[in-house]
Amino acid sequence: MLENITLQINEHVYLKDPVTSELGISIVGKSIDLLYELGFEDFTFKKLAVAVGSTEASIYRYFENKHKLLSYLTMWYWAWLEYRIAMGVINIESPTIRLKKCIQILTERVEEDGVFSQINEVKLNHIVIHESSKVYLNKQVDEDNQCGFFSSYKNIVKRVSDVVLEINKDFQYPHMLISTVIEGANHQRFFAKHLPRLTDVVEGKDTVVSFFQELVEKTIKH
């Protein structure tokens, strides 16, 4: 369903919009497979070129470098999250339930979505967990920010912060709280897999969602 909807991504992140050609779509699709498999450090445009059956030079016509490509994927993920949050809270009147739903969407494990056929959301979620911090933890962050690379992220934080304020208009740190939840959920998923002593994993239960829902609920109480 909804096969022909696509997410609009900031045009400064690519040189040529990848969704406008077969090759571009293939570059994005294969880059997800390769980043998932190799991690950002071992991922190169040479390997990507081989994977899509093209050449390095052709990849460079779409993306300036691998950092921009990672930014593109992360921006797509945020835009997708923004869309899912907007859909997920439609018709929910109670701000408390709406907030709970937002936190759930922000922190839950991603399942195959299938709405956007060209993108594997499960692998992309894995990439976001493992690599997305690298999108902003660098020297170009201010320039990228000026180009609007983080607008979807900011929109999400703003949107959910507003629900927090609906519940408690005096709460002083709504943006800190929500950005902490978003980053925190990704980190906890990483820790659960690689550094379990830094977390609290329980068999058969998604503690990440419960933890952050409880944390938010209690923190914003009067």
Give the chain's largest Cα–Cα span: 59
- CB of 44 vs a second copy, minimal distance in Å: 14
Q: Which is nearer to DNA, 68 or 189 (CB)?
A: 68
Total residues contacting a second copy by CB under 8 A comes to 49
Q: Does 200 bind a second copy (CB under 8 A)?
A: yes
**11 SS3 class:** coil
**CA dihedral sign of residues 64, 11, 148, 40:** negative
Does 206 bind a second copy (CB under 8 A)? Our answer is: no
Does 212 bind DNA (CB under 7 A)? Our answer is no
Angle at 178 between CA 138 and CA 71, to 5 degrees: 30
Q: State yes or no: residue 180 binds a second copy (CB under 8 A).
A: yes
In Å, how far are 103, 104, 220 from 173, measured between CA atoms? 16, 20, 9
Q: How far is the CB of 205 from a second copy (least distance, A)?
A: 10
Asked whether position 61 contacts DNA by CB under 7 A, the answer is: yes
Count other Cβ atoms within 10 Å, centred on residue 123: 19
How far is Cα 74 from Cα 133, in angstroms, rounded to an integer?
10
Among 22, 93, 112, 142, binds DNA (CB under 7 A): 22
For residues 84 and 130, which CB has a smaller minimum distance to a second copy in the complex? 130
User: How far apart, in whole angstroms, are the C-alpha atoms of residue 46 and residue 34?
Assistant: 11
What is the x/- site pattern for a second copy, positions 59-98, by CB under 8 A? Answer: ----------------------------------------
Let me know how many helices (H) and strands (E) the chain has, helices first: 11, 0
d(CA 190, CA 64): 29
Considering only 12, 61, 154, 159, the residue that binds a second copy (CB under 8 A) is: 154
Question: Is there a contact between 72 and 9 (Cβ–Cβ < 8 Å)?
Answer: yes
**Which residues are near a second copy by CB under 8 A?**
38-39, 41-42, 130-131, 133-134, 136-139, 141-142, 145, 150, 153-154, 157-158, 172-177, 179-180, 183-184, 187-188, 190-191, 194-195, 197-200, 207-208, 210-211, 214-215, 218-219, 221
